[in-house]
Amino acid sequence: MRRMSLLLFLLSLASCASKAPGAGEVDTLTSQSKFVFRGTVQKNNDATMPETVTTARTVVVKVQEVLRSPEVIGDFSGREIVVQLREGAPAKPGQQLVFFANGWVYGRSLAVIEVGRTRVPDNAAGLGQLVAVAVQKEEDKKVQARIDLAAAYRLVALYGWDDLIFTHISARVPGGEHHFLLNPYGMMFEEVTASSLVKVDLAGNKVDESPYFVNPAGFTIHSAVHAAREDALCVMHLHTDYGIAVSAQKDGLLPISQQAMLALASLAYHDYEGLALNEEEKPRLVADLGDKSHMILRNHGLLTVGRTAAEAFLAMFLLERACKIQILAQAGGELVSIPDPVLRLVESQVKAVTVGQGAALTWPGLLRKLDRIDRSYRD
């Protein structure tokens, strides 16, 4: 399984060569670049590009060799990448190119780690210009989705947020069908692997052969959110100690810490209606969630959503930590609340603080943490 299969490369310039250059030439051409690749032009690009990509001439290049990388990125040979060419740069099928990237992130979002001498688009957080993206095969996306979801389960166990076999994290399978991945019922979170995840439909029924079974009733909350929110590709619902403690407090999450500010910027509440088995509760839960990414289920637990497992996990990390800080602070005396004007200011500052890439920048490090402990979640 390729570690880089979900990477979208952000290439700052593309430099052409009619023959493979030597190492010295590469260093001269790309002295400020983190990643340098050599590949062969396959064809002119006719793939749909993200809206943020400029419409200048692009070609599809098959990677032959990684000439420079600040870290081990696995076997990347054979990967097809869309490369935007410099003005006047020749590129015919079969011709070799040297191209380079200043940084990379997970997901579809926009970020460049180092600023190049390129126009800065309005929506790039002032960091640079997106000029190329990796072309992903559908199967690679599905494999990576499994790996990331299994990693999320392991991380929840690692941080002590699991509740034996109860609660779930679900992720939509990439592609046109409304299928989802869910943990095998009865398996501890620390045991979940990419291959053990069960694919289900929106009703919680298995759609593929699997030796494991799922708890359709436990999928009630998740199916409601997935059905209502196209951007909720991952839904995480947990019964954390501090989350439940705050969910039982009348005033909910208080604006008393910076961590709380980050969660309060997109926080919803839903009143307790008993065990989450009632189909009639779904529209009320969805209405309460609205377009928020964090939710406190009163007297019950926490819920977060994201476009990726990384986003849902980071949202949960922030929410649970804010709850923990609140419970600890309440044991120490009178609390100092942050004024409403500051709360509104922080909401606008969140993207700037994380370069709009909080989850994308955090997730690779979390995967490395898991890899050092136990890589079996990838199996």
Q: Above 90 in pLDDT, residue 120? A: no
In sequence order, which residues have a C-beta less than 8 Å from that of residue 379 and are 6 or more positions away? Answer: 193, 194, 195
Which comes out higher in pLDDT, residue 135 or 270? 270
> What pLDDT is stored for residue 93 in this prediction?
77
Task: DSSP for 297-336, please give it.
Answer: ETTTEEEEEESSHHHHHHHHHHHHHHHHHHHHHHTSS---
Classified by CATH at the fold level, domain 139-378 comes out as L-fuculose-1-phosphate Aldolase (3.40.225)
Q: Above 50 in pLDDT, residue 53? A: no
Task: Give the tens place of pLDDT for each residue, 278-308.
Answer: 788 889 999 999 999 999 999 999 999 999 9
Q: Above 70 in pLDDT, residue 94? A: yes
Which comes out higher in pLDDT, residue 337 or 101? 337
> What pLDDT is stored for residue 178 in this prediction?
85
Q: Above 50 in pLDDT, residue 150? A: yes
The sign of the torsion formed by the CA atoms of 137, 13, 311, 155 equals positive
Q: For residue 106, give the nearest of 67, 136, 139 by alpha carbon.
A: 136
Going from N- to C-terminal start, the domains of the chain cover: 7-136, 139-378
In sequence order, which residues have a C-beta less than 8 Å from that of residue 79 and are 6 or more positions away? Answer: 2, 4, 62, 63, 134, 135
> What pLDDT is stored for residue 58 in this prediction?
63
Which comes out higher in pLDDT, residue 215 or 269? 269
Going by pLDDT thresholds of 50, 70 and 90, the confidence category of residue 131 is very low
Mean pLDDT of 209-228: 86
Going by pLDDT thresholds of 50, 70 and 90, the confidence category of residue 248 is very high
